[in-house]
Amino acid sequence: MKTDVAIIGAGPAGLLLGHLLRAEGVACVVVERQTGDYVLSRIRAGVLERTTVSLMERLGLDARLKSEGLPHGGFNLADGERLIRIDVEALTGQTVTVYGQTELTRDLMDACDERGLEVIYDAGEVALHDIAGDAPYVTFVRDGGEQRIDARIIVGCDGFHGPSRQAVPASVGQVFERVYPFGWLGILADVPPCNHELIYANHERGFSLASMRSATRSRYYIDVPLTEKIEDWSDDRIWDELAVRLGPEAAAQITRGPAIEKSIAPLRSFVFEPMRYGSLLLCGDSAHIVPPTGAKGLNLAASDVHYAAEALVAFFRHGDADAVAGYSARALARVWKSERFSWSLTKLMHRFPDDGPFERRMQVAELDYIANSEAAQRSIAENYVGLPV
């Protein structure tokens, strides 16, 4: 098979890029290791920035997002006693949209047939070849036989564990990384949320987050040591812990119910540079990871895709090779700002094992400063809604 762009990975980054390229008449094929049902079973992000919503609008795939997504004009930080509301809409004129990654991915998947976007699911042993030159190709195994896609460009949208980043020679790539000494235990339940907006709380017992997917489906998180086992956390134990950590005001409004999903995700900050090598571009989690504090991961994947689509359309439609060459620097400038925001909010809202009374006082002072300073709130708000692309 021959195409212009071979996209590896059919998560949100790969499907968004595929649709954007198809809409501009650039030939592409997406190759995914898992089945479509498996991709949709992963419960992940819940908050979309304006830029992510705009991409869905531009594709004309925003009908369900518009009708079912919840616009949020603010969110709360909690310090164990009070809620500090960040009025994002008043401070920036913008809102974010609460809409699950699963739903966004489903909308992109459902449109593939109609838009002529070819996605090959269930592809085993996906490998990249000759990425340093102008004629790269991808091989994979399907139905027992090896298949090959010849392309001009390969885009790695295959997440943190995929093969694309690994294909860049070690002498070229540089890794910047911080692994955090805790994970987020998440619970999804069909109960009304305890607040109409999100609450990120820093309590003496640790971090918690009250989030949602809809008016009837809640998503909550608490941080736990990485040594914890999910089997040791009964639903009741999680609800009890949330009620303490979120503080009395939120606790009074919590509706408990059985978990429909429960898992522990490790936290990491990670950036791989460069995001282009030869004929390979990297987008989304394949090139970088943020801790989920601040809800930046999916949105960063979407802004990478925005830059990559622009560069590839300029290249295939107008022969502009500089656009592809400039992709990495353009994407990384925004990546590092989201990394900084996610890292600083993680530091502010979590207890680190080595923290003593001094670090605790610093957190209390910073939260009090934020509570009383419009300048501090504005800075948080403009990062939360998403910096411009």
CA-closest candidate to residue 189, choices 206, 212, 208: 212
Residue 83 binds ligand RFL (CB under 6 A): no
Residues 280-319 that bind ligand RFL (CB under 6 A): 284-285, 292, 295-299, 301
Residues 203, 288, 292, 306: which is the catalytic one?
292
Reduced to 3 states (helix: H, G, I; strand: E, B; else coil), residue 330 is helix
Edge to edge, what strands does the sheet with 47-48 contain?
47-48, 96-98, 70-72
Cα 253–chain centre separation: 28
Q: Which stretch binds ligand RFL (CB under 6 A): 8-16, 86-94, 174-182, 230-238?
A: 8-16
The two tokens of residue 9 are 């990975």
Residue 259 binds ligand RFL (CB under 6 A): no
Give CA–CA dist 334/386, Å, rounded. 10
The two tokens of residue 368 are 């009090």
Residue 34 binds ligand RFL (CB under 6 A): yes
Active site residue 2: no
Find which of ligand PHB, ligand RFL, none residue 361 binds, CB within 5 to 8 Å per kind. none
Cβ 60 to ligand PHB shortest distance, Å: 26
Give CA–CA dist 183/265, Å, rounded. 5
Is omega for the bond preceding 353 within 30 degrees of 0, making it cis? no
> Which residues, in sequence order, are bridge partners of residue 141?
124, 146
Find which of ligand PHB, ligand RFL, none residue 219 binds, CB within 5 to 8 Å per kind. ligand PHB
Active site residue 292: yes
Tell me which residues touch ligand PHB (CB under 6 A): 45-47, 198, 211, 219, 292-295
- For ligand RFL, the closer CB: 74 or 360: 74
Find which of ligand PHB, ligand RFL, none residue 293 binds, CB within 5 to 8 Å per kind. ligand PHB
Give CA–CA dist 259/120, Å, rounded. 33
> Which residues, in sequence order, are bridge partners of residue 84?
77
Cβ(263)–Cβ(230) below 8 Å: yes
Residues 137, 200, 307, 327: which is the catalytic one?
200
Cβ(14)–Cβ(262) below 8 Å: no
Cβ 356 to ligand RFL shortest distance, Å: 29
Residue 31 binds ligand RFL (CB under 6 A): yes
Active site residue 277: no
Residue the block writes with tokens 């030159």: 133
Residues 318-377 that bind ligand RFL (CB under 6 A): none
Active site residue 221: no
Residue 187 binds ligand RFL (CB under 6 A): no
- For ligand RFL, the closer CB: 308 or 348: 308
At 57, which amino acid appears? E
Give CA–CA dist 305/309, Å, rounded. 6
Active site residue 163: no
Residues 262, 296, 306, 350: which is the catalytic one?
296
Cβ(359)–Cβ(194) below 8 Å: no
> Which residues, in sequence order, are bridge partners of residue 324?
none
- For ligand RFL, the closer CB: 161 or 237: 161
Residues contacting ligand RFL: total by CB under 6 A: 37
The two tokens of residue 112 are 């593939």
Cβ 112 to ligand PHB shortest distance, Å: 25
Find which of ligand PHB, ligand RFL, none residue 339 binds, CB within 5 to 8 Å per kind. none
* Nearest-5° Cα angle at 142, 138 to 146: 55
Q: Which of 18, 46, 206, 386 binds ligand RFL (CB under 6 A)?
A: 46
Residues 72, 288, 306, 350: which is the catalytic one?
72
Beta strand 124-129 with 83-86 is: unpaired
Which residues are known catalytic residues? 72, 200, 292, 296, 384
Site for ligand RFL, rule CB under 6 A: 8-14, 31-34, 39, 44-47, 101, 123, 126, 157-159, 161-163, 184, 186, 265, 284-285, 292, 295-299, 301
